[in-house]
A and B are shown apart, each in its own frame.
Chain A
Amino acid sequence: MNAIRDKYAIVGTGKSRLGQVGATSLGLLEEAIKHALDDAGLKNNEIDGLVVRGPDDLYSHHQLVAQRLGIDVGFSTSLDNGGASQILAIILAVMAVEAGMATTVVCGYGRDSWTRTHASPSAHTNNDLIPAAQRPREHGPEFGHFGAVSQHAFGARRHMFEYGTTREDFAAVAMAFRRHALRNPEAVMKKELTLDDYLRARLIVDPFGLFDCSLNSDGAGAVVVTTVQRARSLRQKPVLIKGFATFNNTKGWIAEDHMISTAAVKSGERAYNMAGLGPRDVDTAQIYDCFTYMVLTQLEDYGFCKKGEGGAFVRSGALGLNGALPTNTSGGQLSEAHVEGMLQIVEGVRQLQGIYGSDRQVPDAEIALISGHGGNQVCHSTLILGSA
Chain B
Amino acid sequence: MAEYAKPIPVPSIESKPYWEGLKQHRLLMQRCDDCGKFWFPPSLLCPHCTSDRFTWSQLSGNGKVFSYVVYHRVYHPGFATEVPYTVAVIELDEGPRMLSNVIGIAPDRVVCDMRVKIIYDDITESVTIPKFTPA
A: which residues have CB within 8 A of B?
125, 127, 137-147, 149-150, 153-155, 157-158, 161, 202-208, 251, 254-255, 259
List B1-25 residues whose CB lies under 8 Å from chain A. Answer: 6-12, 15, 19
Q: Which residues of B contact A147 (CB under 8 A)?
A: 75
How many inter-chain contacts with C-beta < 8 Å in the A-B complex? 101
Q: Which residues of B contact A157 (CB under 8 A)?
A: 67-69, 112
Chain B: CB-nearest residue to A208: B69
Establish whether residues B73 and A141, one from each chain, have CB atoms under 8 Å apart when the complex forms: no
Q: A137-B9, A137-B10, A139-B9 are in contact. Are A144 and B71 (CB under 8 A)?
A: yes
Task: Choose from B19, B47, B87, B129 the contact partner of A150 (Cβ within 8 Å).
Answer: B87
Task: Choose from B15, B71, B97 the contact partner of A205 (Cβ within 8 Å).
Answer: B71
Q: Which residues of A contact B107 (CB under 8 A)?
A: 206
In the complex the two chains form, what is the Cα distance from A121 to B79 in whole Å? 18
Establish whether residues A206 and B84, one from each chain, have CB atoms under 8 Å apart when the complex forms: yes
Establish whether residues B70 and A206, one from each chain, have CB atoms under 8 Å apart when the complex forms: yes
B74 close to A (CB within 8 Å): yes
Q: A125-B74, A147-B75, A205-B73 are in contact. Are A142 and B9 (CB under 8 A)?
A: yes
In the complex the two chains form, what is the Cα distance from A208 to B71 in whole Å? 10
Establish whether residues B129 and A143, one from each chain, have CB atoms under 8 Å apart when the complex forms: yes
In the complex the two chains form, what is the Cα distance from A138 to B123 in whole Å? 14
Shortest Cβ gap from A102 to chain B (Å): 37
Task: Choose from A127, A138, A143, A203 the contact partner of B87 (Cβ within 8 Å).
Answer: A143
Establish whether residues B10 and A205, one from each chain, have CB atoms under 8 Å apart when the complex forms: no
Q: Which residues of B contact A141 (CB under 8 A)?
A: 7, 9, 76
Closest 4 CB pairs of A and B: A206-B70, A161-B112, A138-B9, A141-B7
Task: Choose from A138, A154, A251 the contact partner of B69 (Cβ within 8 Å).
Answer: A154
Shortest Cβ gap from A121 to chain B (Å): 13
Q: Which residues of B contact A155 (CB under 8 A)?
A: 67
Shortest Cβ gap from A112 to chain B (Å): 21
In the complex the two chains form, what is the Cα distance from A254 to B90 in whole Å? 10
Establish whether residues A254 and B75, one from each chain, have CB atoms under 8 Å apart when the complex forms: no
Establish whether residues A158 and B79, one from each chain, have CB atoms under 8 Å apart when the complex forms: no
Establish whether residues B69 and A153, one from each chain, have CB atoms under 8 Å apart when the complex forms: yes
